[in-house]
């Protein structure tokens, strides 16, 4: 590996994609940004010389490249080379060698990037140029700040379509690497907060309060990926406290909606001793795609078209009761500060009095379950307010002040 300055690290199969990698490397290098090539190929002979060859990549995964080839198991080979590439990139980054990472190709390229991206911190440019980004990108994004470029045609040679796309991707990498320095972190305590469109007023008011009191508020959109990202960052020690106002992803996990954050949502703060204030924002709904994608088993349920791409379904009393028990289970092991605040008169903008999802019985079922199941050491505050009432944000702000100060004085 030549030189010791940070470089754009190009990772991919240099047997089948060597022309494209060579083009991107040359264009980036022509702009004055050094490049390193990491070869993940397992088929034919590489068409370019790599700075980290494929045998070294396999070794980094604890595998033998010749054995991978001889076994003829493409899945096992790609998995091993992706792990090895991630290990190589991790070590390069620890040595101050990584200015950006670029991966080109199809689904294998997407998988390789999904292994690499998590080993790099936020802010390190990660660029994936792949046909897979036209589909479900959640497996590739994970919780990273991944930049994705759709190449229009397959990465299968240089032509009048692929060449300008690859050129602009290379130019984007150059811009990311050579742009002005990013301002240093503020030094203020960071608070992770959760929001949906139907809880925006509450979270914005809470954010204003926290900012006025010296905190930096980072808001996560509860689309599934947002919740997973929040949980991952809590585990990495980023946050001084969490304002989990919008726990709606729990409803999607329970009922089968499209915005589930997986089975471990609302667990990281308790597991890592991070103070948290928890509410029930948007637990009155489950998210589906267009109306015709709502499962037939939910025929007759109360539905609302949020937009042509999103259909909301009102949660039932039975579902809400189970959600109350879920919250109680997930918070039971918390050792740090935790309070639960519930707006009795509506968990979202559309379930407040007069809203299409207004259902006091369903909301009461969740509240009753919390009263019955929540660890008695955890304060439960039920307010005769709707979630977006300014007074509710005031109560949350007071609770967050206690969380950040480490006290447990009452409201």
What distances in angstroms separate CA 52 from CA 2, 139, 152, 176, 227, one per listed residue? 11, 26, 29, 23, 36
Full domain range(s) for residue 254: 190-405
Q: Total domain count for the chain?
A: 2
Whether 185 maps to a domain, the answer reads no
For residues 246 and 379, membership in a common domain is answered with yes
For residues 388 and 246, membership in a common domain is answered with yes
For residues 155 and 227, membership in a common domain is answered with no
User: Mean pLDDT by 10-residue block, N- to C-terminus, for the chain (411 residues)?
Assistant: 77 95 97 97 92 97 94 91 97 96 95 95 94 88 91 93 96 95 83 96 97 95 95 93 98 97 97 97 97 93 93 98 98 95 98 97 98 97 98 98 70 34
Tell me the C-alpha distance between 349 and 356, whole Å.
9
Residue 149: both structure tokens together: 């470029």
For residues 80 and 165, membership in a common domain is answered with yes
For residues 174 and 206, membership in a common domain is answered with no
Which pTM does this prediction carry? Answer: 0.82
The residue ranges of DSSP E strands in 81-170, in sequence order, are: 98-105, 126-130, 147-149
**Whether 52 contacts 36, CB under 8 Å:** yes
* Crossing angle (nearest 10°) for helices 162-178 and 18-30: 40
**Whether 147 contacts 134, CB under 8 Å:** no
What per-residue confidence (pLDDT) applies to 4?
Answer: 66
Whether 184 maps to a domain, the answer reads no
- Candidates 9, 197, 163; CA nearest to 86 is 9
Tell me the C-alpha distance between 347 and 370, whole Å.
14
Whether 24 maps to a domain, the answer reads yes
CATH of the domain at 125: 3.40.50.12020
For residues 231 and 367, membership in a common domain is answered with yes
Tell me the C-alpha distance between 260 and 217, whole Å.
23
For residues 283 and 377, membership in a common domain is answered with yes
CATH of the domain at 197: 3.40.50.12030
Residues in the chain: 411
For residues 303 and 333, membership in a common domain is answered with yes
């Amino acid at each position: 590996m030549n030189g010791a300055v940070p470089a754009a690290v190009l990772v991919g199969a240099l047997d089948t994609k060597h022309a494209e990698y060579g083009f991107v490397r040359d264009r980036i290098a022509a702009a004055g940004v050094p490049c390193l090539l990491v070869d993940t190929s397992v088929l034919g002979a590489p068409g370019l010389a790599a700075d980290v060859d494929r045998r070294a990549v396999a070794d980094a995964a604890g595998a033998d490249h010749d054995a991978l080839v001889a076994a003829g198991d493409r899945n096992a080979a790609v998995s091993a080379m992706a792990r090895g590439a991630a290990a190589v990139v991790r070590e390069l980054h620890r040595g101050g060698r990584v200015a950006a990472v670029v991966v080109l190709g199809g689904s294998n390229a997407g998988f390789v990037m999904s292994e690499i991206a998590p080993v790099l911190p936020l802010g390190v440019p990660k660029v994936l140029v792949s046909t897979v980004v036209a589909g479900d990108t959640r497996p590739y994004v994970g919780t990273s700040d991944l930049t994705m470029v759709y190449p229009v045609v397959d990465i299968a040679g240089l032509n009048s379509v692929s060449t300008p796309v690859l050129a602009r991707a290379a130019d984007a990498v150059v811009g990311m690497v050579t742009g002005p320095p990013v301002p240093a972190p503020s030094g203020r305590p960071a608070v992770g907060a959760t929001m949906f469109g139907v809880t925006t007023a509450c979270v914005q008011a809470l954010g204003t309060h926290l900012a006025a009191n010296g905190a930096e508020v980072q808001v996560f959109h509860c689309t599934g990926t947002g919740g997973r990202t929040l949980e991952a960052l809590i585990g990495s020690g980023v946050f001084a406290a969490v304002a989990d106002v919008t726990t709606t992803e729990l409803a999607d996990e329970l009922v089968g909606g499209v915005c589930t954050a997986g089975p471990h949502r609302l667990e990281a703060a308790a597991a890592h001793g991070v103070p948290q204030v928890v509410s029930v924002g948007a637990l009155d709904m489950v998210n589906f795609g267009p109306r015709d994608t709502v499962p037939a088993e939910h025929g007759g349920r109360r539905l609302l078209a949020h937009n042509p791409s999103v259909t909301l379904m009102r949660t039932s009393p039975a579902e809400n009761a189970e959600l109350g028990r879920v919250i109680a289970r997930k918070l039971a092991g918390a050792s740090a500060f935790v309070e639960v605040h519930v707006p009795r008169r509506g968990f979202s903008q559309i379930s407040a009095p007069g809203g299409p999802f207004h259902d006091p019985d369903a909301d009461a079922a969740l509240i009753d379950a919390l009263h019955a199941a929540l660890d008695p050491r955890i304060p439960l505050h039920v307010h005769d307010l709707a979630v977006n009432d300014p007074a509710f944000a005031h109560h949350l702000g007071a609770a967050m002040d206690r969380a950040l100060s480490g006290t447990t004085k009452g409201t």
